[in-house]
Chains A and B, each alone.
Chain A
């Protein structure tokens, strides 16, 4: 490869907008059609809507509701701790309250609100009419709502989880036999799945649904951050889901993963939980920085300085955050060298954070800052966050953490990080984006008052906690004795908490107060430069009137007449001739238009599927296995019906003229299609969960003698090898089916599918026979339990894979899958690639490793 510079080309011509606006009556007719296609259903049918502005709004309101609930729980905590020996609530209630406070804030507020924000504004920023899978967002939202409400109301029945948001076994296995821990495990696993679904949606949204010309170096920084965060979710949540599976298996079926008496080890849970738990902190933090990166340039009235540096910081933080998890386990007696390695990574992650702050400082230095409530929240939040960051660097040092760990110092630290780094920017974001959503402004005066109350209240509440912690106050105590010196500071914290709460109350009032008499805002009220502010006032459901060609990071500042050209429909897709919802799909790097994507419209299917999914998880919580299974099957049937009716429809024509002389295909398959990407990302997450289980296997090997047992009890090598061989053969048959379909050999395709199904079923039987014939009893010891869990995971995936093969055969028979329109089978094959890898690893581990060990 040579690196001699080549002569480079001239600047390529952009596609200019139409030189003249279409006649007014044409514009009116286009607008009417667009409005008609994109309008939300009226009346009670409104709840079948799937458009990103509706779902995003419900999502935001719901997360804010959960935030208020978590906030009230926090106030209960502070009242209880106001004085020593308090009996405002009982110990049992207190434990439920603090467990729910942490769980609600992390799982029902912090992660979902970033997804809610993104569902709402990402399409606006990227000039898309909607996200690529609107029904998936709706499904995610309904799952989130059902699961979240289920987890929250448990406290009113005195059944809430009470093992802390970290749920350490064996406290949460043998020592808490009531339903609380099940509610946590199943209720929140369910929400994690919905978070994952949205992460898939957002990744594809950022990579594939940008406006033409918006190259990766021109994307709004928000999109970069959300891309990084969504990818982090895909890799961080699955280990927790794997851990949830193990913990629930122990609780429900007595498989002793965490029971040391039977070879289990409670430390495995801590690893899996924190492999999730630390990236989680950055998953929560980065989207708020993303809001900062949008708001600062607007009020500094100039482009952000250090775009590349911000990208470095976002990507770098995403990576480094996966190397920190053991710093939550510094006091577990692990070898010093292990602690040291994680301490090193914990220090390194501070570097990209510093970079971001200096980029923001450079931007305000170069600009002239206009102050507003939004900007105050941003600046105050960062100043607060820096304190949390500095104490974070302190506790990242192993020696200091020995003292600080599990003391109130950590409570102080984490709230400085999360409130300063996340909540303040979110409130700033609400002040900034409220006009976008409702076309009315929030009150600057109320905002500034709230800011000062919150800043003062926050610091009064949480600063003293650093001191109480070092004075010896441990975390999660429901009360403390008098005479220890904790009284004054705790009382101060409680007073501060109410000041802080009054600030939130003002924000809430500002949002809810009637604004009927208030005038509409003018368009783009902050004079921002990014595309999210291109919408009309009042807001139109169509998202954007016509999709422009973008050639800068701040198109509203840089592209003259952009708004006029968008409004007059001089750009792409100004019309909805076929009465279908459409948006553009573009290439990953340079955003060249690739497809005119038909996106789904209103449907009850996501709602019904979510209700049945919720039924499965909620009924399983109470061990109503029969009902739970019925509900689960109903959910699968509903999802299949949804896939059958709602996806991969063959369009009435190959391609469509999207305006300006550009014709785009209406159907793509393989890596050019959004569905392929969704499957790929989903399977990455699924594979991560599987690898977490494999990690468990090797963890037991290092931590426990007699794993694998000597002499070996099972599963032998014969059956696993047979099973693995058959499954690989089934995979080959699937490959054959895909190419037979492409070559229009229907009979060959059906035959290959049949062979694949038979081989797959035989393969799972053989895989099952391994531990079965050797008599491995999963309740006896952790070794058989671990083998069974790997085998069971694989078999479950094979069954799902078989279902997909049958689905493809049926689609072909129904004429919904042809040699040209073959996205279904291409995506199923992608699933099978991962399945083959899973099966191969399972066999290698359960049959091969004991031979080596």
Chain B
């Protein structure tokens, strides 16, 4: 309630006071940046115009019907019903159905040869993303969380599943959504067509922090993508400052490794998100906060306050200094 009041009173004077959220990129189905989304957007506009025309015609027809008076036994009325109610709709709907069906093989068909494959697992309430290792090391995968990089103009096949409940993987700018299930693999083929930063989100209600289950999709040139993937495949970087070194020690002492993994560090657990290169990501906590030290401190202090029912425990018992060191360490993991 407080926010509501503050918003109304403060908004005119301090625009942006409460707007300090992360901006992740475009997320509109009507500004497509992928082949599937383009096709669907075109279909939408065609249908929207058609629907508007039909609705207006019905209203005009309705007004005419109410104004006119045809007497008790108008001979043409059966044809009015047969034509307007049955024949015309049947034909229009058949044509529309044909368009819809003809687009389907392109949208649900198998991925073309040479597609990039990215595994994404929905978890309460974040996304585990994993790529095949760029050097083709079978045993190793490049894992990260809530961020996906894609090369432009190359088909990518997302292999989707879930670790717990049903989620739905949706990048409105690139394609339609596909649900993710525990114990069942689903697939989505996407071909991004223009570079940029796009936002993805969970579309299926999945409990507590469903509203904060976002991810960033960066579409970039193939060269930039290769460089990024190579970078993500490396172990975590070395540390530069004292605070970060302290943070690293704290990370071990506080048992963060019980859930998180930082390649090159001792932490190996795959319960929570991989943090090897967490500092390089666009945001933290699945889009809840911008990726800066202050936000990391806020997150460590009160995860459940920021994301209802978040599974990460609070570290509010640590001193400000400790929290800042941890934040420095994590933020330094570029």
Contact = CB atoms under 8 A, between A and B. Distances in A.
Interface of A: 79, 82-88, 90-92, 95, 163-164, 168, 170-171, 174-176, 260-261, 265-267, 302, 305-306, 309, 331-333, 336, 339-340, 343-344, 347-348, 350-351, 354-359, 361-362, 364-369, 379, 383, 386-387, 390-391, 393-394, 397-407, 470-472, 474-485
A406 B166 CA distance: 13
A267 B333 CA distance: 40
Nearest to A332: B179
A476 B210 contact: yes
Given A354-B86, A397-B97, 18 more contacts: A84-B18, A84-B19, A95-B208, A163-B207, A168-B204, A260-B181, A332-B181, A336-B108, A361-B61, A362-B65, A390-B55, A393-B51, A400-B47, A402-B36, A407-B29, A472-B170, A472-B172, A482-B21
A234 B165 CA distance: 32
A265 B3 contact: no
B237 interface: no
Nearest to B27: A472
Contacts of B8: 83
B4 to A, nearest CB: 6
Interface of B: 1-4, 7-8, 18-19, 21-23, 27-30, 36-37, 39-40, 43-44, 47-48, 51, 54-55, 58-59, 61-62, 64-66, 68-74, 77-78, 80-81, 84-86, 89-90, 93-94, 96-97, 99-101, 103-105, 107-109, 124, 164-166, 168, 170, 172-173, 175-179, 181-184, 186-187, 199, 201-211, 287, 308-309
Nearest to B69: A368
B80 A483 contact: no
Contacts of B80: 358, 361-362, 365
B96 A393 contact: yes
Nearest to B109: A336
B62 A361 contact: yes
Contacts of A369: 66
A366 B70 contact: yes
B205 A476 contact: yes
B172 A403 contact: yes
Given A85-B3, A397-B47, A331 B55 contact: no
Nearest to B201: A474
Contacts of B70: 365-366
A343 B66 contact: no
Contacts of B74: 362, 365-366
Contacts of A336: 104-105, 108-109
A407 B61 contact: no
A347 B309 contact: no
A636 B204 CA distance: 41
A83 B4 CA distance: 7
A309 B81 contact: yes
B205 A471 contact: no
29 contacts: A83-B8, A85-B21, A86-B7, A91-B308, A168-B166, A175-B165, A305-B81, A306-B77, A333-B186, A336-B108, A339-B108, A340-B101, A351-B93, A361-B61, A362-B65, A365-B70, A383-B62, A387-B55, A394-B47, A397-B100, A399-B40, A399-B43, A399-B100, A403-B172, A405-B177, A406-B177, A472-B172, A474-B201, A482-B18
A351 B39 contact: no
Contacts of A306: 77-78, 81
B203 A340 contact: no
A393 B203 contact: no
A368 B71 CA distance: 9
B55 A477 contact: no
Closest 5 pairs (CB-CB, A-B): A402-B176, A260-B183, A333-B186, A358-B85, A397-B100
B65 A365 contact: yes
A399 B104 contact: yes
Contacts of B30: 470-471
B37 to A, nearest CB: 7
A351 B90 contact: yes
Given A88-B4, A403-B172, A474-B203, A343 B100 contact: yes
